[in-house]
Structure 1
Amino acid sequence: MNIQSKVNDLHQILVKRLSCIRKFPEEFFPHTVYVEEEVEVDGAPAYQYYRLIEIRPDSSCTLFNPRSGQNEERELTEICIDWLVTLWVWYTNLIHPEQPVYPADKELRVFLFPQEHFDRNATDEEIIADYNTDEGTDPCIEKYTPDEFAAMMNDGDYPNRNMYVRFIEH
């Protein structure tokens, strides 16, 4: 697999992961993103500035175009990969601000994994491997601390989304 294929695969994984998010932190939007577009003057590609306003589960999104002053319905796939990475890092930092970049010890975590892609009795190793890989079969695996998961349950923020729940030391 060449480098461009890996970049394309990562681009798709980030689009899927961002599309799987059902509840964004309040501070997440709006967010700066850039889209590579053809400039009408000379036809050369250029990066155009937008403000991301909304992401929907079907991977569509709303971008505010400051040049026109209008919202535009677009696809996450149109956003440059650098900015998809930035969005993913921003999201994970908002939901796990206390989580160190390089965790030293394993701690109990709650993994939510989709029923349509995993057997109920999938091994911990399968779940963790798929969560950790950029080439996982399902980028919709979610990981929480027990306190975060309990808060979701207690606040009614966890509707049954056809996800299995597993507690794993990770």
Structure 2
Amino acid sequence: MTFTTRFNQLQTDIIANITAITNRPDGWLPHTVFVEEEDEDRSGAGTPVYKKYQLIDFKPDGSCTLRDTKTGEDETDRHLSEINIDWLMTLYGYYQDLSEEREALNTDPYNNPLEHSLRLLLDVACLEITRFEESETYNQCVKALASSEEKELSVFLYPLDCFERNATNKEIIYDWESEVEYEIPTRKLTPDEFAAECNDEMFADQVYWVRFIKY
């Protein structure tokens, strides 16, 4: 099997997985994608460029709606195969992450520790258990509360060329955690590190958006 054949098969498989999705998690779409197109230079020759779009919707046959981020116009006659394969993989990976989070919300009793602890305490009150601190229920409450560790405020710097200013926290964090290497990567700093870059005039404000996220 040639490299081109393997590449085409990978693209086909990813598109098949995406178009098979029927239950779309909240916040998945719209999603930033890039499409390779030709842009005429001064000589009239076509020059390959990556153009930024928002994927708005898609159908089981792979046809999709792309929104031009510059004009705001929706193009309904596009196809998922036009999207750069790296961004197809990012799109599908983000879907998997959101699906796992949704499943955890539905199945993990400790996903909301405070609510779970209150439920346990209500059970105790209903059963009128004495010496509560010695009970297994008390131990479960302690375990639940211990799992609610406070997240720290972090500064995420995400590139202007790849994201809209109002990109979701999920998109930004996913890009930072991704193993895909970009020329301008998404960065994560502590508030002190970010302040130091600003004070030392090292922050590239012409390259990055800034978002404070508890992570």
| Counterpart for residue 16 of structure 1 | 16
Structure 1 residue 63, shift from structure 2 partner = 0.7
What is the number of equivalent residue pairs in this alignment? 102
Structure 1 residue 97, shift from structure 2 partner = 3.0
Q: Which residue among 76, 96, 99 is the counterpart of 1:95?
A: 99
Higher helix share: 2
Q: Structure 1: which 5+ residue stretches go unaligned?
A: 99-143, 149-170
| Counterpart for residue 119 of structure 1 | none
| Amino acid corresponding to residue 85 of structure 1 in structure 2 | M
> Relative CO higher for 1 or 2, CA cutoff 8 Å, sep ≥ 6?
1
| Counterpart for residue 174 of structure 2 | none
Of structures 1 and 2, the larger Rg is shown by 2
**Are residues 1:46 and 2:77 paired?**
no
Equivalence map 1:1-170=2 (5 Å)? 1-40=1-40, 42-73=45-76, 74-97=78-101
- Kindly report structure 1 stretches of 4+ aligned residues shifted beyond 4 Å: none
Structure 1 residue 35, shift from structure 2 partner = 0.4
Task: Please say if residues 50 and 65 of structure 1, whose CA atoms lie closer than 8 Å, have aligned partners that are also in contact.
Answer: yes
| Counterpart for residue 118 of structure 2 | none
Give the Cα separation in 1 of the matches to 2:4 and 2:101: 32
Task: Please say if residues 22 and 57 of structure 1, whose CA atoms lie closer than 8 Å, have aligned partners that are also in contact.
Answer: no
Q: Cα deviation per residue 1:8-56 (whole Å; 9 max; x = unaligned)?
A: 1100111111111112111101110000011125301111000111121
TM-score (structure 2 length as normaliser): 0.44
Q: Structure 2: which 5+ residue stretches go unaligned?
A: 108-215
Structure 1 residue 68, shift from structure 2 partner = 2.5
Q: Cα deviation per residue 1:59-110 (whole Å; 9 max; x = unaligned)?
A: 1111110232200011001101001100110011110138xxxxxxxxxxxx
Higher strand share: 1
SS in 2 for 1:96: helix
Report % sequence identity. Answer: 39
Give the Cα separation in 1 of the matches to 2:82 and 2:25: 23
TM-score (structure 1 length as normaliser): 0.55
Task: Please say if residues 11 and 81 of structure 1, whose CA atoms lie closer than 8 Å, have aligned partners that are also in contact.
Answer: yes
Give the Cα separation in 2 of the matches to 1:58 and 1:26: 22
SS in 1 for 2:71: coil
